[in-house]
Structure 1
Amino acid sequence: MSDRDALLGGRYRLLRRIGLGGMGVVHEAADSALDRRVAVKILSMAAEADEAGQRLERFRRETQALARIRHPNVVAVYDSGVHPAGPPFLVMELLDGVELQRLVEKYGPLEPDVVSWIASGMSSALAAAHAAGVLHRDVKPSNVRITRSGRVVLQDFGLARLVEESAITHIGFLVGTPRYMAPEVIRGEPPGPRSDLYGLGLCMYLMLTGESPRGGLEDVGALVERAIDHEVPQLYGNQLAGSRRIPDRLAYLVDVLCAADPQARPENAAELQTTLAASTDMAARVAELVQGCVRDQALGLLDGIAAAGPPAEEDLPEYLEPEARPAAAGHPAPLSLSDATRRMVMGSMTVDSAASRLREAVNLVQRGELQEAVRVLSAVSRVCASALGDAHPTTLASRYWQAVCLARLGAGGEALALFAQVGMYLDTGRNVEDG
C-alpha cells in the first residue's frame, strides 16, 4: 500500500483520538496537502442497517449544516468525503484551548463579565446558525470551545437538523443530552430556535453559579423527570444570586432563557446582544483563564511522564491522552498511546523516526501551536527515554522544546527545572569527554 493510500481520502494522516460520541470518532489529523492540523470526524457505521442509515443521513446533514454557516463563533468545515470501502468523514478546523466545562471545573463560578463574553459568543453562533436554517439541538458546555485567544466557538453540530427538513429520529427516541435539553424536546415536541436558547440559559446558569441547574443526577430517567416536572431555580432575586454577586440583568436573562414555556423565551438569539453587552476588552481576560487551563494540562503531562516510567505494551500512544481513562486512587491518570506508536515502538524506534516526530513538534512550537506541540513532545520524550535512553540527544532535544513550551505557557518554574535537567546531562557528557 502506498503512503497516499494509507491517508484518509488520500490526504489526511490520523494522529490521535480527541473525541468520541454517539455518531462517531473525532481525530486530530495532519493535512498533507496544506501542512496544517485539522480535526477529522469519522462516522461510526457499526450499527443495524436502519440505524446506520440514520447515522449516515444525520452525518450528511451535519456537513450541509456547517457548510451553510460562515461565522467566527462556529467551527469551520474544510472538507468531507468517503474513504474507499470505509465510512464518510468530515474535516474541520482544529481548535486549541479548552471546553467551557473544563473552564468552570477549574475556576468555579466565572466573573459576570466573562460570562457575558462567552454567552455573547454563543448567542452570536446560534444567531448565525438559525439564520442559515440550522438548529444545533445539543447546546451544552462540552460543545463550547474557548480558544487561547479568547474566541468562543460552538462545535459538534452532529445533532443539527435543517429547519425545513423532517425529523429522522424514531418516535420516542431522545436525541441530545438530557441534562441540557429543553422540556418541550423531552416531551417529544419538535425543537425550534428557542430550544437552543434554553441550552444557552443552562450554560449561563452553570457559568454564574458553578453548579448544574439539574444537579449531579446521572440516571437518564431521573434527569428527564426533573427536566419536565421541575423548573430551573430562579436566579433573579435569589439569595444564591446575591451571594455570587450576579448582576440583575444576567440573573433575569437566565430566568427568561430557562423558562419552561418556550413562548416565554426570547424569540431569537440576536435579541440577547444588548442585554449581554459584552466588552471586547474581555477577550484578554478570557484568554488568561484559558491559558491557566492549558498550563495545567501541560504540567499534567509532565507529571504523568515522570510518574509513569517506561511505557508498557498496552500503554504506548503517540500523543498522550491523560483523561482517556480514570485514575486509580493515589495514582496519576494512566497515559495512553495510539496504535500507530505502539507499532512504531514495538517494532523498535529508530533515531530517524524519533527525530522526525521531534521536527514535527518543533514546527508546531514555531507556529505557536503550543497546546498540540506539548502533547507531541511529551510522548516523544517518554518514548525516546525508554527506547533510546535519557541521555540520548533526541531525548534531550524533546525535553528542551518541552521546556520551551512550558515557559511560553507561563509555567516558568517547571520550565527551568526541565532546562536544568537537560543541562545536567549535557554537562555530564562534556565532563566525560574532557576526562
Structure 2
Amino acid sequence: MATGTRDPSDARLYRWRFGAVEFDEARHELRVAGLPVEIEHRPLQVLALLLRHVGEVVTKEELFDQVWAGRITVDHVLATAVGKLRRALHASGENRIATVPRLGYRLDGPVERVALGQRLGGTLTFEAGQPVPGREHFLLERPLDRTLGSEVWLARQPRSRQARVFKFSLDGERLSAIKREATLMRVLRDTLGERDDIARVIDWNFESEPFFLECEYGGQSLPEWAAEHDALAGWDRDARLAFFLQIAAAVDAAHGVGVLHKDIKPGNVLVRARRDGGWQACLTDFGNSRLLQPERLAELGITGLGLTVTTPGGDSSGTPLYLAPELIAGQPPTVRSDLYALGILLYQLLVGDLRRPMAPGWERDIADPLLVDDITRATDGDPVRRLGSVAALVERLSTLPRRRDEATRAAETERESQHAQHALERARTRRPWMLATIGVLGVGLLASTLFWYRSEQQRHDATMQAARAEAVVRFLSDDLIGALSPGGAGFERDPTVREMLEHAAGPLAERFGDDPATRGSIHAALGDAWRTLGDRERGADHLRQAAREYAQAFGDAADPTLKTRYSLVRTLAYGGTAESFAEAGRELEATDRLAGNRLHGENEVALYAAIARGQFHFQQLQVEPALEDHLRAEPLQRKLRPDDANMAALVRGAIADGMLRLGRTEEAITRLQAILSDPLLDAAHVGESTVAGHRIMLARALRGLGRYREALPLAQAAATTSERVLGADDYSTLVQLSIVASIHDAAGDCASALPIARTVRSRMAARYGAQRQATLVETGNLGFIEYDCGDREAGLDYLRQAERELRERYGAGNVAAHSFRFGLAKALVEQAGYPEALEMVDGLDVAALTAGDSTPGWEHRLRALRGRILMLSGDADAGRPLLREALQALQVLGTEAPAEMEQLQRLLDGGTAAGAGAGAAAGADANVVAEAGS
C-alpha cells in the first residue's frame, strides 16, 4: 500500500490501482472497470498528485502551483477539474475524493502502485542540430511550435535534405492528442487515399519518452507563409477564394468520412509550392479532432489509439477566435461548428488579415453582397440557421459568377420596372389616357422582352394541358375504372386495391407515350401507394421510374424530380436491409447535391429532404439525428403544406416516436395526445391504420411507465385495426402485435404473451425474410419472452442469434443489438456466467438502450447490473456502491418489477440472490424498428 510523501523530486512513474480504477502515469491513461476513459490533462494531473499523497490533504495552493504552474487561472478551474475527475471515476463507484472545506482535497482508501520507470527531467530540451531521439538519421533544424509539454520541430536528413515534422510529447502531456491524430490520419488515408490537401502522418513512437508523431513537411504555416511572401496582398479576390476552396475541400472530404477537425485556424493550414507554380493548401493538426462514427475503426481494421469513451459534457477545445458559440456554451461539436471556423477564416482571407476578428460592422470590409451573405450563412450564431455543410458553402462560392449574373439581371429588371412606373406616375397629370397607355405598353414590352420564352412556354403548356386532361380522363374512365367495372376486361371478382394498382400500371406507356410528366406523376402515385401497402420493392420500382420520367420532362434538378427521389429514399429506407440502406444513402447524397441551396430555404424540396433524411436515420435506429431532421420538417410542413394531413401525421408522429425512444416519455405522451385529438389527423383524413400507429405509440409510452392496464387495450385495438385494414401479415400489424405481447410479458402474463410472440416471429420471417432487421428484432423479442416464461435455453439461443446477427449485419452501434446484449448479460448472471456477462456490459450505451426501450432510468439499470455482477463474482467492494446508488435511483423512478427490486435489495443486504431474469424490462421490443409512418 502506498501512503505517499511530499517529495517533488520523485521522478519515478507508477501504475496506480484502487478498486476498479487504474491510472498509468507513463502512458497517461486512465481506465475505469477496464474501459479507457478520456478526459482533459489537468484532471489527470490532479489525480496523480492526490495519488502521490493518498490519505493527506493536498491544498488548493499546492494544486494550483503544481498543476497550473505559471498559468493565469480563475478560481473555478480547480473545482471543474475535480468535478470531471469524479465523474470519470463514478462508473466504478469509486467516490474517494473528499473535499476539505477551505483547504483542498484528499483521496482516501487503499491504493496499490507499481513502479514503471523514470520520467524525463524538467522540460523538453531539444536544440537545433540534435538528432531526433529514436530517428537519429534526422537532425532537428528549427522549432515550429511550442506549448507546455509539447514541441513541434522541423527536422532534415543531412544528405538528402528530406524534411520531416516531429510532434513531441513529454510525460503524456499531449500523448492522447497525438495518438488521436495518428488514428484519425489512418482513417483519412484508408478512406480518402493520399491527398495533397491533408498532411500525412508517416510514423510514430508511443512506447517510450519522448513520444512523437513523424509527419511529412506540408510547408509553412499560413501566417508564416503570408508574412514571408506577402502573397495575400498581391492576390485579387478570385485568387483568395480559389485558395480558400482548397482548404474547404479538405475539410469537406474529412467530414465525408466522419472526421471533425475542431481546430480550424490559419496556423493549422500549411502552404507549399506546386510544380505548376501555384500554391497548395494543406490541412494539418488533427490532434483535437473527433470521429463521428467510432465503429468504422473496426471496419477499417484500425486500432483506436486515443479514441476512447469521453466523459459527459460539451467540448470547447480549439482556438477561441474560431470557436462556434454553441461550443463555448458546452454543446458537442458538429459539422456546423467546423463550418463556423471556416467562415471566420474566409473573412480573414478576403480582407487579407489573418488576425482580424469578426467584430460588429465586419460587413463593411467585404464589397460583394453575395460574399457577405455567404459568410453570414456560415457564421450565424444559431447553428440551425447556418449552412448545413461545408459542401454547401463550397457550392455557393464555386457558383459566384453565375449568382452575380443572376443578381445583376434581377436588379436591372427591377430598376427598369421602377423607371417605367415612375415615368407613368409623372405623366398622369398631363395626358392621362394616352400616357397611361404608353406606360403600360412600355412595362408590358419590357416584360415581354425579358420573359418571352416563359410566355411561349406557357402557350405550349396550355395546349399540352388540354391534351393531358383529355388523356387522363380517358385513362381513368376507359383503362382503369371501365376495365375493372362489371363486364370490363379486368373484372373477374370484386377487385382489391392491389389488383387495381397492378392494373393501373399497364396502359401508361400506350396512353401517355409522348407525355413523360404525366407518366411520372402516375408512377409516383403508384409508388407511394405500394409503399403504404407494405410492398416497398414494388413502390421503389415505380418511384425510380417516376424520377426518370420527371427528369426527362423537367430536368434532373427540377423540383418534381427531386421530391420524387426523396420519396424513393424513404421507401428504400423502409426496406430495412443493409442493401436498401446503402442504396438509400447513395440516393440521398446524390439528390442533396442536385438540390444545392434549396436544402436551406423554406421550400418543398427542403421539406421533402428533411423528411427523407429523418426517415433514413430513423429506420437505421439513429434516433437523435432523425429527431433533428423531423423537427426541421415540422415548421416547413405547417407553413407549406398546412392541410396535408398525411404529411402532418408522418412528421408529428415521427417527432413523438423520437422523443419516446430518447426517454422523453412525458413529452411524447403530450404530443401523442395532441395528435389523437387533432381533427386534421383523424381517421377520415389519414386513415384508420395511421391512427392505429399513433395509438400503439401511446401504448408503448404507457407501458414504459408501467401503466399496463392503460396500455394493453390501446395496443390491442391498434393491432386489430391494422389487421383488418392492412392484413394479418403486414409489417405494421406484426409490430403492433409484438407490442401487445411485450405488454402481456411485462405484466407477468406468459400464457398470453408467448403464443403471440411466436406467431409474430414466424410471420415476420415468412413475409420479410429471416435476415431482415425487423425479423431479427422479433427473434430477440421472442428470446426475452421464452426466457421469462420458462424455456431458458431457447430464450438464450434466440437472444444470442439476434444480438450477433444484428451486430454483424447492421453495425456494432445497432440499437436493438445493444438491447439484446443487455438482456443476454442479465440472463448470463442468472446462469453464473459472470465473466461473459461483464464482457457483455462493457461498451453498452445508455442512449442506444433508451432508444430500444424508452423506459426511463437506463443509466441506473446499467449501473445496477454491473454492481450485481461484481458482487456475485466476489468483488463486493467495487460492486456494492454501484448497486446501492442504482437501487436508490430506480426506487424513485418506480419502473422496475417489485420482485426484481426485492432480489437486488437482498443481494445488497448480504444475500446471494443472482437477481431477476432477462425480463421484458431488460430489452428491446418490436417498436425498435417501427416506422414513424409511411
| TM-score, scaled to structure 1 | 0.50
The structure, 1 or 2, with the larger RCO (C-alpha pairs under 8 Å, 6+ apart) is 1
Could you say which structure has the higher helix fraction? Answer: 2
* Bigger Rg over Cα: 2
